[in-house]
């Protein structure tokens, strides 16, 4: 069996350390040289010749995180690594997965092309914005489910009269899959947008009177949708509203909106590090999940067994 080496990009150091510890070995020694104009150059300070290399980096903004990861892949390939696998807990640009209006790019496909062009052998990620993005890649993609770590926490709360809510029509499939783990029903918050990150109106499809509601989504950016949905659900008679999100982007006014909202708590994972503390946010780590997945890849065991 090939030796395994795990390395961290600068944007995911804490998560990578957790993954390596859960896997049972220390992080590899990697340096990132930075020039005065912010240009970067990664270099491995130990041999990776013939090794199975795993490079861990979420590609949330800025785009330099993606560039850094691609340079790490290139450095590993040129250092004669046997295989180079990238662990991208959060894939940036995944929201741009189709042409929803004329003359726009499909950012997710562009990222897929870049990832493959540098010689990546395999990609591991979590909770893509749309599952079909896997089809943009011509290499194996291990798509892990964030609910694997968040659903047990919700179960531990032993909430009665539990119902799940999708913050928009597009998230119904994800919410239904989450609710199926509990044998519960779902409702939908139907929203209309004027432009990105700005909601014109919202209405609830379904009855939440006397229910403990859990909103389910893949990411939260400015928190406008999730907070408006929580406030509306409470107005419609819900006993409490929580939200379960995999990727906490939390841009701009997000933290202030969460503190001022009707949310009892926001449950997130550590695919993206929090930029500031927030007493309303509970973070659940995906380190063990990724470590287990890496082990199964190395030993050629099933990945789907982790969450099916």
Kind and range of the H or E run holding 236:
none
CA atoms within 13 A on the CB side of 267: 21
> What are the φ and ψ backbone dihedral angles of 119, each rounded to 5 degrees?
100, 20
Other beta carbons within 10 Å of 295? 14
Among 13, 87, 9, smallest CA distance to 292 is for 87
Residue 120 contacts by C-beta under 8 Å, 6 or more apart in sequence? 73, 84, 85, 86, 139
Bridge-based pairing of strands 186-195 and 198-205 is antiparallel
**Cβ contact 86:57 at 8 Å:** yes
The answer to whether the CB of 205 falls within 8 A of the CB of 188 is yes
Q: Which of 140, 137, 189, 142 is nearest to 163 (CA)?
A: 189
| β pairing state of 40-44 and 30-34 | antiparallel
60 φ/ψ angles, rounded to the nearest 5 degrees: -70, 160
| Catalytic residue positions, numbered | 191
Distance CA 272, CA 254 (A): 14
For residues 287 and 89, is the Cβ–Cβ distance under 8 A? no
């Amino acid at each position: 069996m090939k030796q395994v080496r795990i390395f961290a990009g600068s944007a995911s150091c804490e998560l990578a350390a957790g993954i390596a510890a859960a896997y049972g070995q220390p992080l590899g020694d990697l340096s990132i040289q930075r020039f005065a104009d912010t240009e970067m150059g990664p270099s491995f300070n130990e041999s990776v010749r013939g090794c199975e290399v795993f490079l861990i980096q979420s590609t949330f903004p800025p785009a330099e995180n993606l560039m850094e990861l691609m340079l790490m892949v290139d450095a590993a390939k040129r250092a004669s690594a046997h295989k180079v696998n990238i662990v991208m807990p959060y894939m940036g640009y995944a929201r741009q997965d189709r042409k929803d209006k004329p003359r726009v790019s499909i950012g997710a496909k562009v990222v897929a092309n870049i990832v493959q062009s540098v010689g990546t052998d395999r990609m591991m990620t979590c909770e893509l914005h749309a599952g079909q993005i896997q089809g943009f890649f011509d290499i194996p993609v291990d798509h892990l489910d964030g609910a694997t770590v968040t659903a047990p926490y919700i179960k531990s709360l032993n909430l009665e009269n539990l119902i799940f809510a999708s913050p928009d029509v597009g998230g119904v499939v994800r919410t239904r899959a989450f609710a199926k783990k509990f044998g519960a029903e779902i409702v939908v918050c139907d929203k209309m947008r004027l432009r990105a990150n700005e909601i014109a109106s919202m209405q609830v499809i379904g009855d939440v009177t006397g229910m403990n509601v859990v909103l389910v989504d893949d990411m939260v950016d400015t928190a406008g949708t999730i907070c408006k949905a929580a406030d509306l659900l409470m107005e419609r008679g819900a006993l409490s509203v929580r939200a379960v999100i995999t990727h906490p982007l939390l841009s701009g006014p997000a933290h202030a909106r969460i503190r001022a909202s009707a949310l009892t708590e926001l449950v997130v994972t550590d695919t993206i590090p929090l930029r500031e503390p927030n007493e309303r946010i509970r973070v659940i780590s995906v380190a063990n999940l990724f470590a287990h997945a890496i082990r199964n890849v190395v030993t050629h065991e099933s990945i789907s067994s982790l969450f099916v």
